[in-house]
A and B are shown apart, each in its own frame.
Chain A
Amino acid sequence: MSRTPASRRPGPAGGSGPTPYRKPVPIFWWLRRRAYLVFVLRELSGVFIAWFVVFLLLMAGAIAEGSDAYEQFRDWSGQWSVVLLNVIALLFVLLHTLTWFGLAPRAMAVRLRGRRVRPGPIVATHYLLWALLTAAVAWLILKG
């Protein structure tokens, strides 16, 4: 196989014709259309979700270490550069949340009494669950 010239290798369809020409795609193909850009921004939200894990673990570690370490963490997280990073991260995470809920009806086929549930109620259920969990977490943290 390795000795066969490229032009004589079987094509992907299993035929014996030459490999079809593939037009090279430029690296920045996603700057060409707004929809492509939103797609890539949504994909990049994963990086900021990973950053959140790092931030959370730094905080948990500081809290575990003692009140001095916690105060140090608060000084560090109060710097404008860290706050700015977290503002950008929150915008990306919100983009993730909105697009995730928007896609939910297409990702899951919920059936109730034999009928497929329409997209509207599925999306609404997600937003309701989000609101409830947000309120519960805020209550738990702020009640102290």
Chain B
Amino acid sequence: MARRSPEPLLWLLFSAGGMAAALLVPVLLFLFGIAFPLGWLSAPDHTHLLSVLRHPATKVILFGLCLLCLFHWAHRFRYTLYDGLRLKNLSLVISLFCYGGAVAGSVAAGVVLFRI
């Protein structure tokens, strides 16, 4: 086959996503998902968060984080379904669902973040 496999690119996105998620997701999830809701730390007010979100650097970083995380999920989930549940014969449907979901989620992230 002369056609190049997309696998190296998908693996690169998976790998970059794994690194971004490992470095940035724990602190964000801990603060906004646990510490602020439970009152362990006082939650920042709306104006401060809005000004942080309006900064172009924040938008680009959060968009990159969302996109890479979603492609990381897509790659891992695809192989979890292949190996974990022995579904290799459904590979086309699974790939469409996983990478299609990652693309759709990235578009949604772009719409949400760049409209702020």
Residues in chain A within 8 A of chain B (CB atoms): 25, 27, 30, 40, 43-47, 49-50, 52-53, 55-57, 59-61, 63-64, 66-67, 70-71, 74, 77-78, 82-83, 86-87, 89-90, 93-94, 96-97, 100-101, 107, 126, 129-130, 133-134, 137-138, 140-144
Residues of B participating in the A interface, judged by any CB pair closer than 8 Å: 15, 17-19, 21-34, 36-38, 41, 43-53, 62, 66, 69-70, 72-73, 75-77, 79-80, 84-86, 105, 108-109, 112-113, 115-116
Closest to B33 in A: A86
Given contacts A47-B77, A138-B27, A144-B45, contact A130 B86 (CB under 8 A): no
Known A44-B80, A100-B18; judge A49-B25 contact (CB<8 A): yes
- Bound-complex Cα distance A129 to B53 (A): 23
In the bound complex, residues from chain A placing their C-beta under 8 Å from that of B66 are 53, 56-57
Given contacts A49-B21, A74-B37, A130-B22, contact A57 B84 (CB under 8 A): no
CA distance A64 to B51 in the complex (A): 10
Q: How far is the CA of A60 from the CA of B34 in the complex (A)?
A: 17
Docked complex Cα distance between A61 and B110 (Å): 11
Instruction: Say whether A82 contacts B80, CB under 8 Å.
Output: no
Which of B21, B33, B38, B46 is in CB contact (< 8 Å) with A67? B46
Structural contact, A50 and B27, CB atoms closer than 8 A:
no
B19 to chain A: which residues have CB within 8 Å? 100
Return the contact of A89 from the options B29, B38, B49 (Cβ within 8 A): B29
A57-B112, A77-B37, A90-B26 known; 19 new pairs, CB 8 Å cut-off, are A46-B80, A49-B17, A49-B69, A49-B73, A50-B69, A52-B25, A53-B105, A53-B109, A56-B32, A59-B32, A60-B53, A64-B112, A74-B37, A86-B33, A94-B26, A97-B22, A129-B23, A141-B44, A143-B48
